[in-house]
Structure 1
């Protein structure tokens, strides 16, 4: 396996369109990198540039110690798994997996051993003699993964491999991919628009928008400490609540005032008072995740600020219930224990855990605290 370094990489098309605007990412040997973002953010273009399928306008890409800008795809020692599976329909599963090894003229005994090892790992041994048309979507994706695994490359590249699968199968295949990574300790670059895949699979996440990496870090750090409004809203399901508010001083402590039609409460801010002093009396966007607004039973902590809120809508999910209320004229999502959730139209006492709340500048959309 190998490390990957992407240094100030840009991509500009002939018509002057800037697709990638100075991408800087580095991961160590054996790490799992997720490129995540909405359609058109440039993540697949970047993956194609790592693979050698698209030219680099400027900057450098290194796999291990090798600068690969000018190397053809076959010389980069990479293996790619596509969204469309890209299997040869006339070949059996066994032939699909072994084809690349045969092109490299490996000994037949070695090829057979590799195919059997990969098939056992992915639990597709019983499918080796079938054609792709006889397989389900999940089985085809396993074969596509098996073909990549047989190569034993320096880096695996996955281009939205699960987007064609139904929801249940996506969850199962996520687990398969994670288990594969844990077994092989392989270096993986994985493109997705699904933030749940990003959170569950990656060691490192690069959140992209408009050809720029908005934030790069571990899944938990990005979840807890988003750099701006876009990252905070994109990572997390349901996404973070953004409540327009004003910073106020109350009892020697800074807080934000939130109101619904039952009344108002000042939520104390956990941030450094000196850092926020310049924002007193100014408008901010108060960011708080749904699980941080809940019922007293679920909160498991004493002394948290509370507020009676008018329940608008509830959405039971099984393990918890999503409750929607209106605070500062903004729809706000909360998580509560199913037995504690009130009915629409009723008042419900909600508890606010502000220990991980964040503030954003409404003009720049950057995080201020």
Structure 2
């Protein structure tokens, strides 16, 4: 088990700068997820950690050792790929043991490792099969088993669940989480799926265009995103963004929200919000509100932080335990998560409540958060 330190790391392919000064630390035993849209640089960063690509500048440490010029086989890492990368002509047993054999580990010790790994991943009955005889989920377990057998300081996962169907992905996420709890080993996991990131990570590093936008726990990046990109990327359905302007009177601040029928509602900004003293009358901002904080009723609550609005329903999407209701505020589509019993039909008017104590505010020019809970 070891820590991982990425300091001022840059990577360029010719004149194209892919990573632009990355700084991330992962402590011993941490599950760190690198997440972001395609092309953000997350897989490139993983390849730099693995030694599959050379860094242009900066420093990568595994434990106390700088590994910039250390060969991949000598970095004490194990990597699990999206494509599984199993040897098709070898049995599961041989796939797991191959790396140990090349390192001249004694046969009796190899057999102990195989049985231990097979027990952890519940693949004891698959040891004599070949990859072609396995399902996608089973192949992924074998790929993880091969990595576990090496007992590395750091595990690297490169979108390992992308080739699985939706149900199996959920099951494998749970298995990977259990695996981390059993092994207590440092894991760096790359995905473009924010739900995967939220469910697996101790901390998440969110990348965009080769730049780290924010590093934090799942709760931190969800509740206090650093900017509009993080707020929009994390959460499903995504956060609502409503353009508005500030209205000040005495020591209070509010925003005006207009429904589809043209009726205006003065919505007070919660007194608990930070940086309200910096907001000036007429200032343009973006109000961010999560769908679960825009609902038809908050059980047991009737406090000043709830803003009540009458809105016409555009679209209704039942999801089972909740119903998503789409409406319009300030000419922007807004999605609200409501109890199925409270949802109206499309074209009808319903009373919605915004929990302004949970609202976030962003500067439309810099896209940075300017007020938070």
Q: TM-score, normalised by structure 1?
A: 0.97
Q: Secondary structure at the match of 1:226?
A: coil
Q: 1:314 is matched with which residue?
A: 316
Q: 1:105 is matched with which residue?
A: 104
Q: After superposing the two structures, state which structure 1 stretch, 168-177 or 251-260, moved more.
A: 251-260
Task: Report if the CA contact (8 A) 2:344-2:350 is conserved.
Answer: yes
Q: 1:169 is matched with which residue?
A: 168
Q: After superposing the two structures, state which structure 1 stretch, 192-201 or 263-272, moved more.
A: 263-272
Q: 1:131 is matched with which residue?
A: 130
Q: Distance in 1 between matches of 2:78 and 2:34?
A: 17
Task: Report if the CA contact (8 A) 2:246-2:279 is conserved.
Answer: no
Alpha carbons of 1:266 and 1:60: their partners in 2 closer, same or farther (altered >3 Å)? same
**1:83 correspondence with 2:68:** no
Q: 1:144 is matched with which residue?
A: 143
Q: Distance in 1 between matches of 2:140 and 2:35?
A: 20
CA-to-aligned-CA distance 1:78-135 (integer Å, 9 cap, x gap): 0000000000000011111111011111111111111111111111111111110111
Question: What is the root-mean-square deviation of aligned Cα atoms in Å?
Answer: 1.2
Structure 1 residue 249 displacement after superposition: 2.1
CA-to-aligned-CA distance 1:186-231 (integer Å, 9 cap, x gap): 1000000000011000011100000000001111001000111100
Task: Report if the CA contact (8 A) 1:11-1:56 is conserved.
Answer: yes
Figure out how many residues of one structure are paired with residues of the other and give that number. Answer: 367
Q: 1:354 is matched with which residue?
A: 356
| Structure 2 unaligned residues grouped into runs of 5+ | none
Task: Report if the CA contact (8 A) 1:253-1:273 is conserved.
Answer: no
Structure 1 residue 300 displacement after superposition: 4.0
Structure 1 residue 277 displacement after superposition: 3.8
Q: Secondary structure at the match of 2:90?
A: coil
CA-to-aligned-CA distance 1:51-96 (integer Å, 9 cap, x gap): 0000011000000000000100000000000000000000011111
Q: 1:10 is matched with which residue?
A: 10
Task: Report if the CA contact (8 A) 1:299-1:351 is conserved.
Answer: no
Q: TM-score, normalised by structure 2?
A: 0.96
Q: Distance in 1 between matches of 2:25 and 2:251?
A: 44
Q: 2:269 is matched with which residue?
A: 269
Q: Secondary structure at the match of 1:41?
A: coil
Q: Distance in 1 between matches of 2:264 and 2:215?
A: 37
Alpha carbons of 1:274 and 1:212: their partners in 2 closer, same or farther (altered >3 Å)? closer
Task: Report if the CA contact (8 A) 2:311-2:349 is conserved.
Answer: yes
Q: Distance in 1 between matches of 2:114 and 2:247?
A: 66
Q: 1:196 is matched with which residue?
A: 195
Q: Distance in 1 between matches of 2:230 and 2:363?
A: 14
Task: Report if the CA contact (8 A) 2:260-2:331 is conserved.
Answer: no
Q: Distance in 2 between matches of 1:279 and 1:19?
A: 39
CA-to-aligned-CA distance 1:294-315 (integer Å, 9 cap, x gap): 011x454212221111000011
Runs (4+) of structure 1 exceeding 3 A deviation are 271-279
Structure 1 residue 253 displacement after superposition: 1.5
Q: After superposing the two structures, state which structure 1 stretch, 203-212 or 241-250, moved more.
A: 241-250
Structure 1 residue 255 displacement after superposition: 1.5
Q: 2:289 is matched with which residue?
A: 288
